[in-house]
Structure 1
Amino acid sequence: MSYQQKIYLASKSPRRRELLRQVGIDFEVILLRDARPRGPDVTEVVLPGELPDVYVARVTQEKALAAWNAMLARRLPIRPVLAADTTVVIQQEILGKPANRDEAIAMLRKLAGNTHQVLTSIAIKYQNQLLQCTQQSEVTFAALNDAQIAAYCDSAEPYDKAGGYGIQGMAARFITHISGSYSGIMGLPLHETTALLDRFKPI
């Protein structure tokens, strides 16, 4: 039986929306600002020396708190807030969303023929409660030539995704093996998300 209380999803990702609908969770999107006079609600800059698991957990917690405060400021109905963040890591290097074609090509060259980690952290904020967990999966790419990488980067697919690829899209043909959570690699590990919601007791 799915979690019954309506929640806010603090994400503009269509993949996360699709995944919540898949397991029957009722939600409403609450968007954080990408830019304000003083900057975005949450920056995704990696701090000096910050490890990947610490980074993704910190950014997720900041998103949950920012969305909670936005809900209060906008005088929206009080509901639990779910936030998530996904990062791709290869040899301890964090790969975010590519800003342009050159960055996407560089990322895919690093991933080609190698195994990398995908970390997705989720956090639920409600009143004085904050529950959080981080799920890790591994993805192995086949060797890719420059023509394959260039053709993929000519599509729109790489540019709103950590690591410059989407497992649910055309990049699926590059992947030889995964270990962990397919939905987590997409951006929201459903087992961990529903387990966290089942633990969560609204006040």
Structure 2
Amino acid sequence: MSLVLASGSPRRKELLSMICPEFSVITSEVDESAITAPTPAETALALATAKCRAVAKDHPEDVVIGCDTVVDCGGEIFGKPADRDDAVRMLHALSGRAHQVHTGVCVCRGEECKSFVATSTVRFYPIEEETIQAYADTAEPYDKAGGYAIQGTAALFCEGIDGCYYNIMGLPVSRLARLLREFR
């Protein structure tokens, strides 16, 4: 089976290599701002499906994986921060509370498509203002949903996790591996 990841995310590439060492990467040209859904989880799935189908239409013989991750803070979607102020705003909102991380996954080969949403709950300790400001001065928050990397320095903020750790990084590895078995 020829596998295609419809994402340029370095974290997703790293995590997918745990399942399959050989795959290609073809990013989609989907306008993410044009895609909405009633809930954050449904938005993650709609984005993943759009990305997957956009690449799959040009690669009908391949198994294509589309993913999208959103942070859900009280029903508000936190994507990648637009700038430093946005990163600081997100970290303030996440400080001292629980939030959900939803990753939509869509897998297609030709017309056959299967999908799911994985949800993990993350609880953050209260984060001191000085720490928020220092974290926002690093490069880490800016290419990650919610403005933090659980596998990076933000591990210091994490009080606990319910659900798949790898989902928080952007790819629910075990669940995707099980779904890919259906495409052999």
Q: Same fold (TM over 0.5)?
A: yes
| Post-superposition offset of 1:170 | 0.9
Q: Give percent identity, aligned residues only.
A: 39
Q: CA RMSD in A?
A: 1.5
Aligned to 1:115: 98
Alignment of 1:3-152 (within 5 A): 5-33=1-29, 41-45=30-34, 47=36, 50-71=38-59, 78-152=61-135
In structure 2, distance between residues paired with 1:45 and 1:172:
32
- Give the C-alpha shift of residue 56 in structure 1: 1.1
C-alpha displacement of 1:172: 0.6
Query: What is the CA-CA distance between 1:25 and the residue it aligns to?
Result: 4.2
Measure how far apart 1:26 and its partner are. Answer: 2.1
Runs of 4+ in 1 over 4 A off after TM superposition: none
Unmatched 5+ residue regions in structure 1?
34-40, 73-77
Task: Return 5+ residue gaps in structure 2 as ranges.
Answer: none
| SS at structure 2 position matched to 1:118 | strand
Q: Which amino acid aligns with 1:30?
A: I
Q: Distance in 2 between matches of 1:110 and 1:170?
A: 18
**Count, aligned residues:** 184
| Aligned mates of 2:67, 2:47 — CA distance in 1 | 8
**Whose radius of gyration is greater, 1 or 2?**
1
Residues 42 and 66, structure 1, Cα contact 8 Å, conserved in 2: no
